[in-house]
Amino acid sequence: MVRTKDPAVRAKLIQRAAQMLRERQPVTLRSLVAGTGASTMAVYTYFGGMDGLWKAMRQEGFGRLAARLAEVPRTEDPVRDLAALGAAYLANALAEPDLYRVMFDAGFELEDPAAADATLHALVEAVERAKGVGRFRTDVDAAGLAVQSWTIGHGLASLVVNGPLPRQALGNAVPMLAALFTSCGDEAAACRRSVESGWTPH
Amino acid sequence: MVRTKDPAVRAKLIQRAAQMLRERQPVTLRSLVAGTGASTMAVYTYFGGMDGLWKAMRQEGFGRLAARLAEVPRTEDPVRDLAALGAAYLANALAEPDLYRVMFDAGFELEDPAAADATLHALVEAVERAKGVGRFRTDVDAAGLAVQSWTIGHGLASLVVNGPLPRQALGNAVPMLAALFTSCGDEAAACRRSVESGWTPH
DNA sequence: CCCCAAAGCATAGCAGCGCTATGTATTGTT
DNA sequence: AACAATACATAGCGCTGCTATGCTTTGGGG
């Protein structure tokens, strides 16, 4: 082995693809490498083809999502935190709708499957805390509830990002999450308060 | 005006595209018309291009969905019926996953927007009945609750059809719908029973 | 009744796509 | 210093959706 790949080139291509996606320019093999000085072969050297590029884009998307979720503060009210995580999830999806669409496009596959799990883990951890402080029943399946919360977030994000529902439909997250958390043992009024508090920034 | 389009040709192309989608064959302009005797121009005559074909496919998908939902029996238990509608929605999505994906793909647009509304209407009607028989509070927003039920169904369908969640994750619909309907005033145990009954065929 | 204009339809070809074969340039290893 | 393996550039292939161009068909007016 004598010549090594330059990770910076790889990162540059990913960043450029993300920017083109954001600017709604079609991301094609030739248009992607144009202006970077690299040739079309670079995409094959670093990603093995366009499919590999999309896979890397999904990874990038989950990375950004994880970063956003990590920024959500953990307060002494875990139910509030769960709602805040949901709000951050939806904010992320709407901030870069095309990247979000790529993340869940056909052929869902990740270079590192742990990235998607990490997203769920943030939810699981909050659920566990809610159980710990007595808001949720102890027999609540944390992983299951995390998946259910994800389903609500993704369902709304997908329907809004893809067009069927208007932006303000995102507000449906509040009653839906409140209903779900109440069903886990939280007291209805307090639950509603926590969810609304977590949903509205600050 | 002298020569008129043949609606049968249009229908034939749509059916063929749906079949190719089901058989996971790539639906391209040339492969679509091959074997039909028609030339590539037919797609432009009847759909104005491939975009128009996809739009027609979305319409077809919503049509099939509406037909499936219409087959769901209306019983004296509207909460059960709501769950049955959700089950039918998910069954439809999983029966033809590629068509379902097309229905919500980027560029969501319908020839007849009423088709999507009709889907929601089946839910709204069931919600109204639930209010009528005293299962749901009278102040429940029927349209809002229908959208929320749709969000759960689409969220699960999308996550399963696109890969992130395994098939058995569809079972999450039961606790989610039960939680949602309970939050609308239904008694928890009865709600759970109704939802489980509607979810399981028969 | 006939005829012609308007529409459907077939053919051919264009630009762009992802991909790959091939040759060249580069660089860590021995 | 020479080698070998890898990165990279170029050119071209088969495919894509689309359109320009004629030919064929056919319904409605003189």
Local structure of residue A69 (DSSP, 8 states): H
Question: In the numeric block, which tokens belong to residue A143?
Answer: 């992983």
CA distance A49 to A56: 11
CA distance B131 to B142: 9
State whether residue B22 is helix, strand or coil.
Answer: helix
Local structure of residue A168 (DSSP, 8 states): G
Q: Which residue has the tokens 């749901």?
A: B136
Element containing residue A31 per DSSP (H, E) = helix A29-33
Average pLDDT over every residue of B64-74? 96
**pLDDT band of B109, cuts 50, 70, 90:** confident
Indicate whether B202 pLDDT > 70: no
Local structure of residue A167 (DSSP, 8 states): G
Average pLDDT over every residue of A8-37? 95
CA distance B27 to A103: 23
Name which of B42, B46, B24, B45 is nearest B33 in CA terms. Answer: B42
Q: Which residues of A41-74 are buried (b: 16+ CB within 10 A; e: fewer)?
A: ebbeebbeeeeebbbbbbbbbbebbbebbeebee
Q: What is the pLDDT of residue B184?
A: 98
Residues 90-109 of A with CB under 8 A from B: 98, 101, 104-109
Cα distances from A187 to residues A102, A174, A193, B17, B148, in angstroms, run: 38, 15, 10, 51, 21
Q: Which residues of B touch A148 (CB under 8 A)?
A: 172, 175-176
State whether the beta carbon of A106 lies below 7 angstroms from any atom of strand C: no
Average pLDDT over every residue of A171-178? 98
Could you give the angle at which helices A78-95 and A173-182 cross, rounded to 10 degrees? 150
Sign of the CA dihedral with B169 first, then B76, B129, and B88 last: positive
State whether residue A14 is helix, strand or coil.
Answer: helix
Q: What is the pLDDT of residue A112?
A: 78
Any idea which of A35-39, A154-158, B45-49, B153-157 has the lowest mean pLDDT? A35-39
Distance A39 CA to D6 C1' (A): 16
Q: What is the pLDDT of residue A1?
A: 61
pLDDT tens profile A107-134: 788 877 888 888 999 999 999 999 999 9
Q: Which residues of B touch A147 (CB under 8 A)?
A: 165, 169, 172
Q: Please answer whether residues B200 and B191 qualify as being in contact, where contact means their C-beta atoms are separated by less than 8 angstroms.
A: no
Q: Kindly report whether the global pTM for this prediction surpasses the value 0.75.
A: yes
Give the total residue count for chain B. Answer: 202
CB pairs under 8 A between A and B: 99
pLDDT tens profile A143-171: 999 999 999 999 999 999 998 999 999 99
